[in-house]
């Protein structure tokens, strides 16, 4: 379970005095706890492993945007810090699918959904998100699906 992996990683990083890893894991745990609290307020179940994958994906995207902004504004040390956090967060995610496998998965989703055109694109992406949480960049995947549906 993801929560156990995160807790174990936190313990290891504390023992190793790895401050970057410790702070990053704590940020991940805080984001999960925030979502748990929001779900509790809405009467939903606690965060699942799939939800945690979505949280991690969002955290990576945020850090990529921040790193770009820092790099553009001549703050390489802050950009590097963001990249280090990205690398740490990625260790908790499943291996990313190759471009070829993303294309194959998109083609299979199109066939399974019976997509006829661009209007069915949402169904295809929903299926991919369901089957491959955290394993692909869905912005790129939607581009692949769009190309295949044309």
pLDDT 10s per residue in the chain (150 long)? 889 999 999 999 999 999 999 999 999 999 999 999 998 888 888 888 888 988 998 999 999 999 999 999 999 999 999 999 999 999 998 888 888 998 899 989 888 888 888 888 888 888 888 888 778 888 888 888 888 887
Alpha carbons within 13 angstroms on the beta-carbon side of residue 1 total: 5
Residue 132: its pLDDT value, please?
85
- Looking at the fold, whether 14 and 33 belong to one and the same domain comes out as yes
Q: Cα-Cα-Cα-Cα dihedral of 99, 100, 103, 107, to 10°?
A: -160
Task: Tell me which residue range forms the domain holding 107.
Answer: 99-149
Buried/exposed 107-136: b ≥16 CB within 10 Å, e otherwise: eebbeebebeeeebbebbbebbbeebbbbb
Question: Is there a single domain that holds both residue 22 and residue 72?
Answer: yes
For residue 94, give the 3-state DSSP assignment.
coil
- Identify the three-state secondary structure at position 122: helix
Q: What is the pTM of this model?
A: 0.74
Domain tally for the chain? 2
Residues 32 and 54 in one domain: yes
Using a CB cutoff of 8 Å and minimum separation of 24, what contacts does 123-132 make? 124/149, 131/105, 132/97, 132/105
Distance CA 113, CA 120 (A): 8
Q: Are 60 and 112 part of one and the same domain?
A: no
Q: How far apart are the first and last CA of the chain?
A: 40
- Judge if 77 and 127 occupy the same domain: no
Which of 150, 142, 95 lies closest to 123 in space, CA to CA? 142
CATH of residue 125: 1.10.10
């Amino acid at each position: 379970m993801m929560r156990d992996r995160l807790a174990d990683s936190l313990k290891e990083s504390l023992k190793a005095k790895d401050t970057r890893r410790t702070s990053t894991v704590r940020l991940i745990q805080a984001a999960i706890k925030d979502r748990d609290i929001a779900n509790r307020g809405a009467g939903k179940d606690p965060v699942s492993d799939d939800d945690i994958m979505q949280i991690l994906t969002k955290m990576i995207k945020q850090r990529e945007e921040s790193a770009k902004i820092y790099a553009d504004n001549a703050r390489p040390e802050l950009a590097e810090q963001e990249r280090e956090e990205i690398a740490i967060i990625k260790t908790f995610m499943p291996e990313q699918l190759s471009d070829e496998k993303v294309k194959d998965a998109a083609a299979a989703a199109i066939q399974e959904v019976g997509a006829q055109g661009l209007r069915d694109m949402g169904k295809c992406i929903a299926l991919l998100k369901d089957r491959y949480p955290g394993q692909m960049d869905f912005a790129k995947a939607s581009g692949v699906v769009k190309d295949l549906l044309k």
